[in-house]
Amino acid sequence: MSTDVMTKNRVQPRMSVKMVTKIGMLGALSTILMLFEIPLPFAPSFYELDFSEVPVLIGAFAMGPAAGALTELVKILLNFIINGTDTAGVGELANFLIGCSLCIPASVIYRKLHTRTGAIIGMLTGTVLMAAVGCVLNAYVLLPAYSVAFQMPLDALVAMGTAVNSSVDSLLTFVLFAVAPFNLLKGVLVSAIVFLIYKKISPILKMGAN
pLDDT in tens, 110-143: 999 989 999 999 999 999 999 999 999 999 988 8
d(CA 156, CA 46): 13
**For residue range 147-180, what is the model confidence (pLDDT) as tens digits?**
888 888 999 989 999 999 888 999 999 999 999 9
Element (H, E) at 117: helix 116-137
* Whole-prediction pTM: 0.84
Average pLDDT of the chain to the nearest whole number: 87
Q: Which residues contact 128 (CB under 8 A, 6 or more apart)?
A: 184, 187
So what's the pLDDT on residue 207? 61
Residue 76 pLDDT exceeds 90: yes
Higher model confidence: residue 38 or residue 4?
38
| Positions of E strands within the chain | 38-39, 48-49
How far is Cα 105 from Cα 123, in angstroms, rounded to an integer? 8
Q: What per-residue confidence (pLDDT) applies to 9?
A: 47
CA–CA dist 65, 83 (Å, integer): 27
Give the span between the Cα atoms of 18 and 62, in whole angstroms: 13
Rounded to whole angstroms, the Cα distance separating 20 from 66 reads: 11
Phi/psi zone of residue 89: left (φ > 0), alpha (ψ -120 to 50 degrees), beta?
Answer: left
Can you give the pLDDT at residue 7?
44
Residue 15 has pLDDT above 80, yes or no: no
199 and 53 Cβ atoms separated by less than 8 Å: no
Measured from the Cβ of residue 199, the count of other Cβ atoms closer than 10 Å reads 10
3-class SS of residue 33? helix
For residue 59, is pLDDT > 50?
yes
Tell me the residue type at 55: P
